Amino acid sequence: MVPNTTHHDLLSTIRDEIEKGNVKTAETKLADLPASITHDSHTRPYVSILWNNLGIQQEKHGGTAVSIKAFKNAAALDAKNPVIQLNLAHAYWEQRDPAMTQEFLEQLVSLAPNEPFPHLALAELFQARDQLGEAARHLEQATARSGKDPAIQSYLRTVTAKVRGTEKSDARLASRDSAHFIVKFDGETDQDTWATVLEILEEAYREIGQKFGHFPSKTIVVVLHAKATFQSATGSPIWADGLFDPVLGRIQVPMQDALADRVWLTRVLRHEFIHALLHDQLGSASNAIPTWLNEGLAMELSGDRWSDLDQLMKQDFTLIPLTALEGGWGGLSSDAATVAYLEANSAVHYLIDRFGMGQVQGLLTHLKARQSLSNAMQSQLSMSYEQFQSQWVDQLPAQGKNG
């Protein structure tokens, strides 16, 4: 309810503008409010609510990148309103904002003790610090507060068990770190291995981050497995050379005799680093990116050109529609996976070559705002998904168009 003060009519007008969806007008009026209103104990909490409601309206159309400023203004005016502080926390989380600190989240736990989200965010923060015991503890707290939805309960218990299991297995791993990475090694420590892997990763961080226009917001953990145990430890398909685990936020790579083939090692580490980079950029919407786009970007941006893909382009193969390559590829056979990677590489190369990396970044921004790929393409590229796929297929070599 609008406070019954001399400013009642002005605040009512702003409220009405927000409810009508006139966000620009409402934002201007809120920003122009004098200190006599924003500092008054009777009107200050209501002005905070207006900023919060403005943020909600902005988020519907532009995502948290647009709404976060309004939520910050709301939170600054009322530090004790749990709804407003939670909205700001969600915006921080989606934007990977460094303001979402441990102190901020612990204050939020005190303010909203029955909410699972602050504990989920704290779990992610501790996981990024490689403090898996603390991460698991907060996951358990989130599970206890997540209501009675069996799907959410099951998911959180699975993630908690995975984090606990990883904490246990990590105890036997040696570890080294650099400015932006923690590298864990399953096997005998070898200074040459540490030096080579960290050098490759730091070079990828600088070069690819600059090319892509985004750098990771937190330290990335890289686990180097013994080749014999890589599949069993990670659950990866037999044809995989490496893996980015989005649950743990880790790059996982088999390492036996890897230093004997630095070209292979560089390709795999750079490829998986880009998956980590995309996961970081998209935040909570990281599952919105289709696999073919994710894999294609990893190949293009890492300079990951496979010789067997070049060979396959000269042969007949059955084309898989891109729409069938949006989900997971773990169940594909080795031959089908090779075709999938070929198509992903080719489609993304065509996408970047025709529209430029700036437009691709715009496409990712739409996906982060949880638009479907079809709507994102139409909005950013003025082209339907079907048109894109048709035009990409038309420029493929004739021998690669069976199916």
pLDDT, tens digit, for every residue of 52-90?
Answer: 999 999 999 888 889 999 999 999 999 999 999 999 999
How far is it, in rounded angstroms, from Cα 322 to Cα 291?
Answer: 9
pTM over 0.85: no
Please provide the CATH number assigned to the domain covering 8-170: 1.25.40.10
The per-residue pLDDT for range 147-180, each reduced to its tens digit, is: 877 888 888 999 999 999 999 989 988 899 999 9
What are the extents of the domains in the chain? 8-170, 173-277, 289-403
- Alpha helix positions (H), 112-149: 117-128, 132-144
> How do residues 3-54 score in pLDDT, each as one tens digit?
888 899 999 999 999 999 999 999 999 999 999 999 999 999 999 999 999 9
Residue 307 scores a pLDDT above 80? no
pLDDT at 256: 64
Q: Distance between CA 199 and CA 205 in Å, rounded?
A: 10
Portion of the chain with pLDDT greater than 70, in percent? 93
Going by the DSSP 8-state scheme, the letter that residue 321 receives in this structure is P
Determine the Cα–Cα distance for residues 143 and 149; give it in Å rounded to an integer: 10
Torsion of CA 371, 377, 383, 384, to 10 degrees: -60
Q: What is the pLDDT of residue 194?
A: 83
How high is the pLDDT of residue 399? 40
Q: Is pLDDT above 90 for 237?
A: no
CATH superfamily of the 173-277 domain: Collagenase ColT, N-terminal domain (3.40.30.160)
Residues 238-247, mean pLDDT to the nearest whole number: 85
Instruction: Round the average pLDDT of the chain to a whole number and report it.
Output: 90
Dihedral pair phi/psi, residue 383, rounded to 5°: -150, 140
Q: In CATH terms, are 8-170 and 173-277 the same topology? A: no
